[in-house]
Amino acid sequence: MDKKILEDYIDACEFIKETEAEIKKLEKKKRFVQDKVRGSNPDWPYEERSFSLGGSVETAADAFTLAREKRILEEQRKVASDLKLGVEEWMKEIPFRMQRIIRYKFFNRLSWEEVAMLMGRKYTAGSVRMEYQRFMEEN
């Protein structure tokens, strides 16, 4: 496990959070469009129905597009979740002290000086960083 993977983990966590919100918005808009399309132009086939929304025309195809966008986001969220789970499993296997260093430095995005301060008085930024580097080289 290297620094890049830890940074990817942080990005994955942020992506998952953002994606969850976006998926909810897409789902809500998709349902709204579907409901409006169903209720409009009752004599037309569903695929040809449309309605006006804020100056733009929404159609059944727009609902399908929203559903496709939602599926793509869900797939991307799954990849990010798998990466996150892999790092969390790895974290369970390493010494608690190293878990603390990694969480402080990478998950909380603290400087080496701040990490050293949280680890205790006898540590300096350089000693904590070297301990982390040695650990990563060995693992």
Q: How many CB atoms lie within 10 A of CB 13?
A: 16
Q: How far is CA 100 from the centre of its chain?
A: 22
54's CB contacts (< 8 A; 6+ apart) are: none
Confidence of residue 124 (pLDDT cuts 50, 70, 90): very high
Percent of the chain with pLDDT over 90: 23
Neighbour count for residue 122 (Cβ, 10 Å): 7
pLDDT band at 129; cut points 50, 70, 90: very high
**In Å, how far are 18, 19, 77, 118 from 73, measured between CA atoms?**
10, 7, 6, 38
Q: What are the φ/ψ torsions at residue 94 (nearest 5 degrees)?
A: -100, 160
Q: Is there a contact between 57 and 51 (Cβ–Cβ < 8 Å)?
A: yes
Q: Which amino acid appears at position 78 of this protein? A: K
In the predicted model, what is the mean pLDDT of the chain? Answer: 84
* More confident site: 28 or 42: 28
- Between vectors from CA 84 to CA 79 and to CA 89, what angle results, nearest 5°? 125
> Residue 57: its pLDDT value, please?
67
Give the list of residues 6+ apart from residue 125 with CB closer than 8 angstroms, or none: 111, 112, 113, 115, 116
pLDDT > 70: what percent of the chain?
87
pLDDT band at 125 (very low <50, low <70, confident <90, very high): very high
Read off the pLDDT of residues 46-103 as tens digits, 9 standing for 90 and up: 666 676 766 666 777 777 888 888 899 999 989 989 988 888 888 888 899 999 998 8
Calculate mean pLDDT across residues 1-25: 84
Which has the higher per-residue pLDDT, 118 or 8? 118
pTM: 0.62
pLDDT band per the 50, 70, 90 thresholds, residue 1: low
Q: What's the alpha-carbon Rg for the chain, to the nearest Å?
A: 24
